[in-house]
A = this chain, B = another copy of it.
Amino acid sequence: MAPQPKYQRRKEDRPQEIADAAFSEFAKKGYSATRIDDVARRAGVSKGLTYLYYKTKEDLFKAVVRNVVVRRVDALLDDVETTNLSSEDFIRGPLLDFMKRVPGSPIAIVIRLLIAEGRRHPDLVDYYYDNVVARGLDAIRRFVERGVERGEFKPEARQLQPQLFLAPMMLSMIWRLVFADKPLETDRLMEDQIDLLLTRIKA
């Protein structure tokens, strides 16, 4: 009786829905262990449709990474730029908070995918470097520079490699990805590092 339609046509939303489903599957099982069938089922869609919007599995993978990256990074970096706190307050406040959130965020998943699959997708690695790493490092450099100009940091602060700020964040990320159940006070790790650095560079 009821003319229940078997499906609705939703051309606009499908690509995003499929990409979201793919992200979940990739996150759970990694790239090669993920079957397009699983992605399609999770997106509530047939396998064929996936191939209508993404030519190959690799295309889908790239779309997923780019997707997650652009949706996250912009907002977070803007935050870092538009602050009127003192350098120390900012670094101990918003910046530290941001760093603490990263290891549990989708960014960590993307990093795992890049570590695992990066060699076979060099253009993806470049994309990630340009849009996340380079921009992040630059933000830190500008932040330090501003601190020096304001007289809050010693001039030698300029010599520090920005990666020194991020190292414990990185370790925490990997730790959680690999040893999910082993204890580690990742927050304190990052706090201590910031402390070490501030002690060194504060004017």
Contact = CB atoms under 8 A, between A and B. Distances in A.
Interface of A: 30, 32-33, 111-112, 114-120, 125, 129, 133, 160-161, 163-164, 166-168, 170-171, 174-175, 177-179, 182, 184-185, 188-189, 192-193, 196-197, 199-200
The oligomer's copy count stands at: 2
Contacts of A168: 163-164, 167
A117 B30 contact: yes
B179 A115 contact: no
A185 B160 CA distance: 11
Contacts of A163: 168, 171, 175, 184, 189
Interface of A, secondary structure class, is: helix
A133 B114 CA distance: 23
Nearest to A182: B129
A175 B174 CA distance: 12
Nearest to A159: B192
B164 A118 contact: no
A33 B120 contact: yes
